[in-house]
Amino acid sequence: MIVKEDPGNGSDPLAPSQKAAHTKHSSSLFTGRQSRKIQPEAPLRLFVYAAYIVSESESQDSADWRCEAFGVVVTYGSIYGECGVLWIGGIMAGGEAKKASTNANNRKKKEVKKETGLGLSSKKDDNFGEWYSEVVVSGELIEYYDISGCYILRPWTMSIWEIMQAFFDAEIKKMKIKNCYFPLFVSPGVLQKEKDHIEGFAPEVAWVTKSGQSDLDVPIAIRPTSETVMYPYFSKWIRGHRDLPLKLNQWCNVVRWEFSNPTPFIRSREFLWQEGHTAFAAKEEADKEVLEILELYRRIYEDYLAIPVIKGKKSEHEKFAGGLYTTSVEAFIPHTGRGIQGATSHCLGQNFAKMFEINFENDKGEKAMVWQNSWAYSTRTIGVMVMVHGDDKGLVLPPKIAAVQVIVIPVPYKDADTKGIFDACDDTVKALNESGFRAEADFRDNYSPGWKYSHWEMKGVPLRIEIGPKDLANDQVRAVRRDNSAKCDIPRASLVEQVKDMLDDIQQSLFDVAKQNRDACVEVAKTWDEFMEALNNKKMILAPWCDEEEVEKDVKARTKGEIGAAKTLCSPFDQPALDEGNIAVLDSHLEQKFSQSLQASRRGSAVKGLVTWSFNSSNMYYRRVLSEDYLLDFVNAT
């Protein structure tokens, strides 16, 4: 039995052990829970197909797929690009197999274009998970690694990360925050010093237990975050009020090991981030910085990635382990009905200062404890951008973060002035680069202009410029937008001005469309029935809430099902006015306590604002969120 190898689109082939098990000559094939006996005496033909390149018109039950060997119909696929799955599609004998082979060969001629490797086999609306797994590989953002949950970040990704890094690094330096670097390894004693903190991260901590073939006397943890790494040295460096504030940031990687269903950028075992750690003499200073950093995170998402987000405060149950309170920016993915926590800014209060004895002598000569913050955003930002803006052609990059903002492609026809066209392309790139744009030309002679169009569309370049004989004769260029495919001719004399206007318009248009799509998903629930109906319809729900941790746990228990359970996301800072008589619809033991909640709300004590909720699932994404101008808080379903 011959298995057709991965077609080169970056999807994971079967693991070697799986191939060995299923390529052996055997009297039966096992496919998960099913197995079918093969009758050796029957004239059978085996069809083996890579599920990654099944065309839109073919279903998994089709009996006339392409022929590769003899036996039964078999195909394999993947779950989010991480694990191979085999199944039997059907068994055919004699003439049926021959007929199917003829049909497949006839259709193969019509599918030549699809097998160039440029197109995506999954559509965003039809199979979001497979589409996402394909687009991050085909768009050259990542490559899968041989350790599950770890990914190679390709130059296209690193360019995006570096652009965001340059913005954020410059802004925090204006706030007198300095960069540093602490080791990757953490001793067990230090890690376990703050009990609540380590309990929150314990399942995700990876441990080094061996050196060569020898067991370590004391295992060493790999940092899941750096509070416990850095704060023993804060205690050493801070002695008096003149040592404050101490404001540090580091750009580094962290490892968080225990989870299921890893997803590139969204949930990975190792990822890049920045993490800031600061200490102040007064709480007011810490509170101010928390919001200043959160605003920078909003700017990253909205101004650079063109993604609308909500700023708000996490519930006590969802706040950072060991912290005083947590603020966050939350994004929303309309195609999945889920929100994603975008970035967090925590006020740690004095809890870590107490544990690590970070004390100082104030200006009155008295001993005091510092107030601390920590804050971070990661490469998750890039995954959110792909999910929000990407389409069935591939990535769609906002101009501000695109490594290449403009790609220039020569379109020489037969007997055309090829040298003149190439020179015009060079001049166009030079003019744009000198004006501050990131522009390149694609002069590769082994690909057609059409192939290049598809290639750069897949990579999400915001603007394509084509120059052919007609353009050369008219001293113009043809510009094509990636976001909406609109085309226009631009005189070369006004090239720079018009390209700037187009890129600005693309950036704003991407944000406007994303915001419109997000806001269209908002529903307000004033009763428990409305809450559950909206939840089941995968909506984002804004509902009054009494801000009690037990209520939150109760709602999670009541809504728990195959797709997960509802959980709070944040309480938006910008709260709409509550109508008189509003009640907390999410109250513990709802049937028994609903009337009590109503009475309490009329006394003004039950409803403490509006909060956003979401389903908590072990699915592809594990945080969801809200929507709307006034920063609502809802529930969204999977």
- Same domain? For 354 and 246 the reply is yes
Residues 136-147 have pLDDT tens digits of: 999 999 999 999
233 and 329, same structural domain?
Answer: yes
**Separation in Å, CA 516 to CA 343, 372, 483:** 22, 38, 15
* Residue 588 shares a structural domain with residue 467: no
CA 480 to chain centre: 27
Is 426 within the bounds of a domain? yes
Rounded-to-10 torsion of CA 159, 165, 166, 170:
180
Quick check: is 89 in a domain?
A: no
- Is 235 within the bounds of a domain? yes
- Please check whether residue 497 is in contact with residue 445, taking contact to mean a CB–CB distance below 8 angstroms: no
Is residue 461 located within the same domain as residue 526? no
Residue 467: which H helix or E strand, with range?
strand 463-467
Residue 441 belongs to a domain: yes
Residue 522 tokens, joined: 């908002």
What region does 488 belong to: left with phi over 0, alpha with psi -120 to 50, or beta? beta
Cα–Cα distance measured from residue 74 to residue 65, given in angstroms and rounded to the nearest whole number: 9
In a shared domain, residues 257 and 354? yes
Cα–Cα distance for residue pair 627/205, rounded to 1 Å: 33
List pLDDT tens digits, range 208-233. Answer: 999 999 999 999 999 888 988 999 99
Q: Are residues 177 and 276 in the same domain?
A: yes
In this structure, are strands 270-280 and 246-255 parallel, antiparallel, or unpaired?
antiparallel
Q: What is the CATH number of the domain that holds 566?
A: 3.30.110.30
Q: Quick one: which H or E segment has residue 464?
A: strand 463-467
In a domain, 197, yes or no: yes
* Helices 283-299, 155-174: crossing angle, 10 deg rounding: 140
Q: Residues 295, 337: one domain? A: yes
Q: How confident is the model at residue 13 (pLDDT cuts 50, 70, 90)?
A: very low
In a domain, 159, yes or no: no
Counted domains in the chain = 3
Give the amino acid at 414.
K
| 395-434 pLDDT tens trace | 999 999 999 999 999 999 888 899 999 999 999 999 999 9
DSSP readout, 255-305?
E----SS-BTTTB-SEEEEEEEEEEESSHHHHHHHHHHHHHHHHHIIIIIS
List helix spans (H) across 8-78.
Answer: 16-23
For residues 434 and 489, membership in a common domain is answered with: yes
Q: Based on the fold, state whether residues 358 and 418 are members of the same structural domain.
A: no
pTM (2 decimals)? 0.76
Q: How does 427-453 read in b/e, with b if 16+ C-beta sit within 10 Å? A: ebbeebeeeebbbbbbeeeeeeeeebb
Is residue 629 a part of any domain in this protein? no
Q: What is the pLDDT of residue 575?
A: 79
Taking residues 246-255, report their average pLDDT.
Answer: 96
Stretch among 308-322, 430-444, 515-529, 591-605 having the lowest mean pLDDT: 591-605
Helix extents (H) in 269-401: 283-299, 351-356, 380-389
Beta strands in 513-629 (DSSP E): 522-524, 540-544, 565-568, 571-572, 610-616
600 Rama sector, left if φ>0, alpha if ψ -120 to 50, beta otherwise:
alpha
Amino acid at 224: P
- Note the pLDDT of residue 322: 87
Q: Beta 206-211 vs 185-186: how paired, if at all?
A: unpaired
Quick one: average pLDDT of 517-521? 90
User: Percent of the chain scored above 90 by pLDDT?
Assistant: 53
For residue 424, give the CATH number of its domain: 3.40.50.800
Domain, as residue range, for 542: 522-593+602-615
- What's the CATH number where 273 sits? 3.30.930.10
Determine, yes or no, domain membership for 359. Answer: yes
Domain co-membership, 370 together with 420: no
Confirm if 521 and 537 have CB atoms less than 8 A apart.
no
Whether residues 488 and 539 share a domain: the answer is no
Residues 198 and 218 both lie in one domain: yes
User: Among residues 326, 357, 389, which one ends one of the domains?
Assistant: 389
Scan for tokens 């540093």, then name that residue. Answer: 180
Burial of 17 (0-12, 13-18, 19+ CB in 10 A): exposed
